[in-house]
Amino acid sequence: MSKSSNLKIRDRTFEWGKRTYLMGILNVTPDSFSDGGDFYSTAAAVDQARALQAAGADIIDLGGQSTRPGAKQITVTEELDRVLPVLQSIRPEIAVPISIDTTRTEVAKAAIQAGADIINDISAGTFEPEMLPAVAKLGVPIILMHIRGNPQTMQSMTVYQNLMQEISSFLSERIAAAVAAGIDPDKIIIDPGIGFAKNYEQNLEILRCLSQLRPLNCPILVGPSRKSFLGHILNQPDPKARIWGTAAACCAAIMQGADILRVHDVPQMRDACLVADAIWRRF
C-alpha cells in the first residue's frame, strides 16, 4: 500500500502529497474547549458549515461529543440528537465530504446513513470493538488517532519511553486491526493525537518528528488548532486568540509531511497552507 493512492469521496479526489487539505471543525457541543456553545443550535451550525465550505474547507468534521481533557461523556441518544439534525440540514447544500467525529458505532452508522462520508474516531476503534467491522461494512474511510485512556483520564497518562516510536507502534497495530476487519487500506488516515495523552513538550516533539510516521504509508492528519500547548507558548489563555500560533504549527506539520490539517480558522489556515505548500511540496 502506498500513500500515493488517491482517495475519492463523492466527487472529490484527494491526491496525497500534492497539496495540504483542510478539515474544518464543526462542534455542535456546549462544552468544547474553544467554541463550546457557538454552534450548538442547528441554525448556527448550518451557517458555520456554509462558512467553512466557502472559506475553502475540503472536509467538514461534525462532532457532538466534546473530547477536551476532562470532558463529560454524554449518552448515545444525546450525541445522536446533537449531530443528526445538523447533518440532515447541511448535507443537501454542502458539497464537500463530511466526517463524523465519534467513537460510537451506533452514531457512526446513523451518521453515514444520514449523509456523512468519513468516520473520525479518536480512539482508533479501541473504545468499541464493533467500530472497525462496522466501518468495513459501510465501506467508508476512517481516521485512526493515537490516544491513551479517554478524555477523562488521558492527561494523567503522558509518560512514554519513546514517544514517536510508541505512537507509530500503536497506529501500526490499529491499521492492521482495521485491515483485518475488512477496511480498505487506501481508506485509512492516521492522526498522532496532539493534546491527547500528550504534554506540552510531547506535542512539540510530534510536530518536530511527524515525518517518522511516513513509513506507515497512510495519509497523516494533524490537529493543532487553538490547543493549550499554543496557549502556553503564546501566554494566551483565550483559545480563539491562538490563530497565528496555530498557523505556525500547521506550517511545521506541512514541512514534516502532514496531508490534512484539522482546524477551526479555515480562511487564515488556507493562506498559511498555500504558502507552506509552495515552499515545501515537491511536484
Evaluated on CA atoms 278, 248, 202, 126, the torsion sign reads negative
Please pick, among 3, 109, 226, 227, the residue that the annotation labels catalytic. Answer: 227
Strands 118-121 and 98-101: parallel
Paired residues of 260 in beta bridges? 21, 221
In the residue annotation, 262 being an active-site residue is answered as: yes
C-alpha cell read off for 247: 498557523
2 CB neighbour count, 10 Å cutoff: 9
Evaluated on CA atoms 186, 198, 158, 132, the torsion sign reads negative
CA distances (Å), origin 96, targets 2, 58, 114, 120: 24, 6, 15, 16
In the residue annotation, 82 being an active-site residue is answered as: no
Instruction: Look at the block and give the residue holding cell 451557517.
Output: 47
Please pick, among 109, 174, 198, 262, the residue that the annotation labels catalytic. Answer: 262
Catalytic residues: 227, 262
